[in-house]
Amino acid sequence: MGKHENINELLTAFALGELSQQQISEVKIHLAECPQCSNELRQLEALLECTRRIREFSTNAQICDSAKQAIFAAVEREKTKHTSGPNISPESIWRKIMKSPITKVAAAAVIVLAGFIVINQFGGSIDGTTKAFGQITENMKKMPWLHGVVDAAGERLEAWFSFERRVVASKRVPGEIRYNDGLKQTEQTYIPDANTITISYTTTDQLAEIGSSVLDLPKYILKLFDDTKEKIIQEAVKYKGKDAKIYKMAGVLGGMDMRVEMIVDADKNLLLFVNQKVFDKTGTLQMDANAYFDYPENGPNNIYEIGVPTSAKIVRPEKDKTAFGKAFEEAIEVVDKRENWPEPRNLAVAYWKARTAKNYDEMAIFWPGSATWNRQVIENEESIEYVFGEAQTAELEDDIIVPYATKSYYEKHGKYSLKMRLTNRKSTKGRYYIYSGN
């Protein structure tokens, strides 16, 4: 074996710090003259650094408690022989759905959608309704705000969504209040017992996640329907004095009998109400959930508007600030070095163009810090067409505002609904860059 091979064999031990002083010296001498080994060592060290970070991850107490409860419940079911059905237990899917405030609200609509897909695939009996139903979730996404209240399993969850403003706010009773701003990429969580608002930079665009949940959950739940003898009934009803349609569906999910009633606005084809009942094999009611939906013109602008007291103490993780700040400073350097930096309005246009093209590097420069964006979510995001107004001076501070809106909103209302805020505070050349999305 030659010297290169001998030293190469020692690289993992070198990276792990297992070598003697003499061996270390030999390796170092070889590294200075061998680019291949140097590169391999850098990869090994990067791997170790990656796993060092992973080692710091741990689940929180809430997840641990939830997992324990789930296994105790599963064991109880095993004991009572309620184990037939698909490989994925109903608890598993329910836990996933009910765990997340987002899917919890979306689930009410989505489970019904899955039912319709079942009907459609297995020779459904209601012509035209499948397509009409598929349109419901799309219609919901186009409204300025979607407000939902879900009563399930002894808990009440109230949530507000704006696909246009990319805001998700939720209030659990009893429990925490959250305000997720997809454009600012921040999430605020209010914990009532501690009276604190914890601010974090989020890598999750929850709205995009809702979109993907709405699209993906039916497929997921569809797997669990192990009985294709569902019945579906459609009737005309009045709901709060307005013409509506009620759909009643029954199916078997994971060995459990599920009954769903859904009320849809007859004119606008928007979901208004869902009731889900789940019975076990003995006919005992296991779950009775109601979800109410309405579509207000305005929604909460901040976490205080959904019940958080102004006395709450704000907690900002120091580590987050440091990492975010670092990405920010790096981006500003590029802002200052670039030739032909765009004027404010064109900058806003360029940002959205980069986002549509999924050009993450450009996005991060036009909007410093947006390297924190969740790439996976954007990867699956449908492109939205935006229109932009003329840049104007902001009322406060020396910032510039570029008004904009989705094309569909602008065509419908003839005005802009969003404001992109640009500043030049950190740029040494006075160049504007984006720092807020609304």
Binding site for other proteins (CB under 8 A): 11-13, 15-16, 40, 42-44, 46-48, 50-60, 63-64, 66-68, 70-72, 74-75, 78, 89, 91-92, 95-96, 99-100, 185, 200-204, 209, 212, 216-217, 219-220, 319-324, 326-327, 371-372, 374-376, 380
Question: Coil, helix or strand for 210?
Answer: helix
> What's the distance, Cα to Cα, between the start and end of the chain in Å?
64
Q: Residue 395 — φ and ψ, nearest 5°?
A: -65, -40
- Pairing status of strand 313-315 against strand 196-201: parallel
Q: Give pairs for 359-365: CB < 8 Å, separation 24+.
A: 364/327, 364/331, 365/331, 365/334, 365/335, 365/338, 365/433
Going 383 to 386 to 392 to 394, the CA torsion angle's sign is negative
Helices (H), 281-339: 318-337
For residue 296, the minimal CB distance to other proteins (Å) is: 28
- Measured from the CB atom, the residue of 61 and 236 that comes closer to other proteins is 61
Nearest-angstrom CA–CA distance, 436 and 185 = 9
Is residue 222 within 8 Å of 116, Cβ to Cβ?
A: no
- Measured from the CB atom, the residue of 21 and 322 that comes closer to other proteins is 322
For residue 94, the minimal CB distance to other proteins (Å) is: 12
For residue 130, the minimal CB distance to other proteins (Å) is: 21
Which tokens hold the place of 78? 């095993």
For residue 259, the minimal CB distance to other proteins (Å) is: 24
Nearest-angstrom CA–CA distance, 173 and 151 = 10
Going 12 to 14 to 20 to 22, the CA torsion angle's sign is positive
Is residue 141 within 8 Å of 409, Cβ to Cβ?
A: no
Helices (H), 80-147: 90-99, 101-121, 129-142
- Measured from the CB atom, the residue of 219 and 238 that comes closer to other proteins is 219
- Measured from the CB atom, the residue of 64 and 173 that comes closer to other proteins is 64
- Measured from the CB atom, the residue of 74 and 250 that comes closer to other proteins is 74
For residue 286, the minimal CB distance to other proteins (Å) is: 18
- Measured from the CB atom, the residue of 343 and 361 that comes closer to other proteins is 361
Q: Residue 203 — φ and ψ, nearest 5°?
A: -100, 10
- Measured from the CB atom, the residue of 155 and 216 that comes closer to other proteins is 216
- Measured from the CB atom, the residue of 198 and 438 that comes closer to other proteins is 198
For residue 196, the minimal CB distance to other proteins (Å) is: 16
